[in-house]
Amino acid sequence: MRVLSIVHDADAGAGVFADAVAERGHELDEWDISRRPEPPAPIHEYAAVLVFGGPMHVDQEERHGWLRDEHRLLQQLLADEVPLMGVCLGGQLLAKALHARVGRMPSPEIGWFEIELTPEAAADPVFGGLPGRFPSFQWHLYSFELPEGAAPLAGNERCLQAFRAGGSAWAIQFHPEVTWETLESWLRSSKPQEDGALDFARLVAESRELIGSWNAFGKELCWRFLAVAEGATPRRAATTRATSPGS
């Protein structure tokens, strides 16, 4: 199975999700959509698509014109029921493609925060069977609301943390893909005026303690998504056989 990883920044890649794809025997292509107008292969060749984070925001289309192309691409993939999972910015872009509100939070959510699954998660093929509560790594200034008809899967006192749209698309606000190396890089490049009051020493200490189990959780989550994609038979209209999102 061929999987597409859409990234928006060199410092926000697939992380442990890439390991999960490889361990299930699949091929992963990375596409930095902010730098290349076309994916490595025609979109219709991919059985699943992962969409990751980045330092930009969904409402910055004037600054990042390629966001408009990605918006159209995600709407087409959703219509064709291609298995999708969006992480952080990727989840927000999925929510926007589904006409849900995405906006700036009163304050950033950065660090380790507990998440609780919803009752709807029990029957979900990806979230069903996961722990009812778990610590999660977060790094976001924006959050999404629930699209019409979607199933809420997880949340906390700050915001909705995950939802499923139809039977093929998942959006998550937290970062199950993040590795220790990536986390360190984010800390080095953090902008205090944007991130707010952040106890770096505490965050590093918590991360050292939690990152191992968190990476195992991230792999498990991705494996579950890939298992859905392996059994999926997405509806592929002729219009999806273009090589670029803007076509």
pLDDT tens readout for residues 70-95:
999 999 999 999 999 999 999 999 99
pLDDT for residue 13: 92
| Low-confidence residues of the chain: pLDDT under 50 | 193, 195, 237-247
Residues 6 or more apart whose Cβ sits within 8 Å of residue 227: 125
Phi (first) and psi of residue 95, to 5 degrees: -60, -45
CA distances from 200 to 40, 184, 205 (A): 38, 10, 9
Q: Would you please indicate which residues are annotated as catalytic (active-site) residues?
A: 88, 175, 177
Residues 6 or more apart whose Cβ sits within 8 Å of residue 199: none
Domains of the chain: 2-236 (3.40.50.880)
pLDDT for residue 10: 86
Residue % of the chain over a pLDDT of 90: 81
Asked if residues 43 and 73 have their Cβ atoms less than 8 Å apart, the reply is yes
Asked if residues 94 and 84 have their Cβ atoms less than 8 Å apart, the reply is yes
pLDDT for residue 241: 35
pLDDT for residue 11: 87
pLDDT for residue 235: 57
CA distances from 100 to 94, 95, 145, 171, 210 (A): 9, 5, 6, 12, 32
pLDDT for residue 27: 97
With residue 7 as reference, give the H or E element that holds it: strand 2-7
Say which DSSP state 104 is in: E
The beta strands (E) that lie in 52-177 are given as 84-87, 102-117, 133-144, 151-155, 160-165, 169-172
pLDDT for residue 247: 33
Asked if residues 49 and 6 have their Cβ atoms less than 8 Å apart, the reply is yes
pLDDT for residue 199: 78
CA distances from 121 to 130, 160, 225, 229 (A): 9, 13, 14, 18
Buried b (16+ CB within 10 A) or exposed e, 26-48: bebebbbbbeeebbeeebbebbb
